[in-house]
Structure 1
Amino acid sequence: MPDLPAVETNVSLRPYNSFGLPALAQRLVRVHAPEDVQRLLADPDLAAMPKFVLGGGSNIVLTRDLRALVLKVEIAGRRVLARRDDAVIVEAGAGENWHAFVAWTLEQGLPGLENLALIPGSVGAAPVQNIGAYGVELKDRFDSLDAIDLQTGAALTLDAAACRFGYRDSVFKQALAGRCLITRVRLRLPQPPTAVLGYLDLERRMADTGISHPTPRQVYDWVCEIRRAKLPDPAVIGNAGSFFKNPVVTPEQCRDIIARDPAIVHYPMADGSFKLAAGWLIDACGWKGKSIGQAGVYEKQALVLVNRGQAIGGEIVTLAQAIQESVYGRFGIRLEPEPVVV
């Protein structure tokens, strides 16, 4: 049997989470191929340890050291898998940087992911969260993925139905939470390409520039500009992007809130419900720019919580809970965090 991958001990996870929070991994293995996981699971001692899958670290809040075997996913590779009349199938290793992968597809002349540019994290984490931005969700472009069952070592292939995608949700946050390590992801880019331009920020760019039919590269550039203006660079200010999900309410709830706060930002959904802008709710409660300890609310976007320098995970959680209580007290809406608290 080939050698086991190297097992590192007491590894600092500060460089591997976008909040820059302090924590140690008791043991850490860098996974470069699916076979690495299967070799680990064949070792009785390592197989018996609890496992924690770590991708880009952009969707976690570390509040403690991890007394587990941390599987740091570093599986690389990008390729065009198939060209069909109605779509092109592209594949990427789970350890690839998501934004770099989006840029690569455009360089290949394959649009379809431009609305999802500059979302932090890895390709393997994208289906877990069902990432989305500017009118497009990952499920809209998803084909299938490969994974390893961390209990049995079996190789799995899941299609969109098996992934049970929801709003910032999937089977990997529900029934398969902690059970699978995603190794490769395949996406379906429609042919001919169809631009998604109905999001308010993009409509404003079209109006400001006079460009009614932007190219995929223009949409990509606009999305990058918009995100950079709103969101801090994790390399400069620790953060996990949007911290709370935008709540979805019934038409009756929306009418009630509008009656009290006519300026509330809201969007109609296809099923008749309404999505409310969580950042607006937080800002309306006066949280923008405020801090608890070293954890703060970003001055330019109330939806983003930041590490002001030496924050610990507990401070981020305390701030998030205070915001939740404040929003619930004023609007009767319970905000749900996007990142996983560990």
Structure 2
Amino acid sequence: MVVEKNVPLQPCNTFGIAARAQTLVRVHSTADVRAVLADPELAAAPKFVLGGGSNIILTGDVKPVVLKMEIKGLRLVEETPKAWIVEAGAGEVWHDCVAWTLAQGFPGLENLALIPGTVGASPVQNIGAYGVELQDRFESLDAIDLATGHTFTLDAAQCGFGYRDSVFKHAPSDMPGADGLPRGMGLEGRAVITHVRFRLPKPWKPVLGYLDLERRMAEESVLQPTAQQIFDWICDIRRAKLPDPAVVGNAGSFFKNPTVSPDQCADIIAREPRIVHYPMPDGSIKLAAGWLIDACGWKGKSIGKAGVYEKQALVLVNRGQGADSVTGGEVMTLAKAIQTSVYERFGIRLEPEPVVV
């Protein structure tokens, strides 16, 4: 266990916001987590788990003990006639994990290429892109209870996956729901994920259907793309649309795509015929948040050093650098102004994706 004091967090968050951790512990193994819980001072303090820092907005210095997840490891756990079961340490870079599975001949994660962050954050957010969500390829995960130190395993049902949602984004609560039954126990702030396992199905089938992928198939005259081709295409598409955090600080897609009823969608289409929308399996309609923001005129605009990316209105960016970086307050001021504009024009409340600390 490596414990550091007064640690700058600007290199640890992809938005490049300047902040400090009063105490930071680098976690390289499950033993390191247990060592934290065995230390009288550290055990009593609140905890904040930090992976790749790609989905957080820091609004000030972090007072809880920061557990910097750096557990590594990639391996094939099991191969059956129906699937490959692959395990990754929570500290592995997500994109590197995707590339490794393909290199080993285990396709299935290619649609999730180039999503920033670490493996441990992937089930928390239920990451998704180009028709595939983490839950579609999820087998199970291991985590440690920060209250008891006990290790436990969760399957997909126990993770409570939803759109960019999971049990790890909800606080523990014994409050009853509308039906009078307990809502269940959330695990936000209660557990730290150490390993994640993926079920990559056999036989492999490509997930296509998105316009960008169909264009690439037509351009290259490929009717049956391989997993590697889909991986390469998605990397190219994402690099063309989204800023590289190493060059322009950002947290990826800042807002969730909202869902509405068919009647609500029809009402909006009557006023805005060009609105981008997608029917969902449950009958609801998903709207493109980036289109809504662009329609309100925000693309390329800024408040302070927080800006809206010129090529994709769904991405907020850091227009400062180094010591003159954007602040978390500026980012959230811009986000709230965008939310207000979208609500006033469309009657839709946009929900931010990043965790605000």
- What range describes the TM-score normalised by the shorter chain of this pair? over 0.9
Distance 1:303 1:208 in 2: 27
Determine helix, strand or coil for the equivalent of 1:145.
Answer: strand
Alignment partner, residue 166 of structure 1: 162
Structure 1 residue matching 2:63: 3-state secondary structure: strand
Q: Percent identity?
A: 73
Separation in 1, partners of 2:310, 2:32: 43
Letter in 2 for 1:281: L
Q: What is the number of residues matched between the two proteins?
A: 338
Q: Distance in 1 between matches of 2:281 and 2:101?
A: 29
Describe the superposition over 1:229-276 as per-residue Cα deviations: whole angstroms up to 9, x where unpaired. Answer: 110000000001000000010001000000000000000001111000
Tell which deviates more after alignment, 191-200 or 131-140. Answer: 191-200
1:214 is aligned to: 225
1:196-241 per-position Cα deviation (integer Å, ceiling 9, x unaligned): 0012211221122221111111100110011001100000000010
Q: Which amino acid aligns with 1:257?
A: I
1:106 and 2:102 correspond: yes
Q: Deviations over 1:287-330 (max 9, x none)?
A: 00000000000000000000011101000000000000000000
1:253 to 251, 254, 264: 264
* 27, 43, 47: which one aligns with 1:47: 43
Q: Residues of 1 paired with 2:2 and 2:304: CA distance? A: 38
Amino acid at match of 1:308: R
- Counterpart residue identity of residue 299, structure 1: E
1:96 paired to 2:92: yes
Q: Aligned partners of 1:295 and 1:269: how far apart in 2?
A: 33
| Cα distance between partner residues in 1 of 2:42 and 2:228 | 46
Q: Choose the corresponding residue for 2:305, options 291, 294, 298.
A: 294
Cross-structure match for 1:237? 248
Superimposed CA distance per residue, residues 5-64 of structure 1 (whole angstroms, 9 cap, x where no aligned partner):
221100000000000001110000000001111111011111111100000100000001
Q: Which runs of 4+ in 1 moved over 2 A?
A: none
TM-score (norm. length: structure 2): 0.94
The CA deviation string for residues 161-196 of structure 1, in whole angstroms up to 9 with x for no partner, is: 110000000000011111110000000000110110
1:157 aligns with 2:172: no
What runs of 5+ residues in structure 2 fail to find an aligned partner? 171-185
TM-score, normalised with respect to structure 1: 0.98
Q: Within 2, Cα distance between the matches of 1:6 and 1:242?
A: 33
Whichever residue aligns with residue 192 of structure 1, its letter is P
Query: Retained in 1: the 8 A contact 2:2–2:27?
Result: no
Structure 2 partner of 1:20: 16
In structure 1, which of residues 134, 147, 153 is the aligned counterpart of residue 130 of structure 2?
134
1:122 is matched by which residue type in structure 2?
A: T
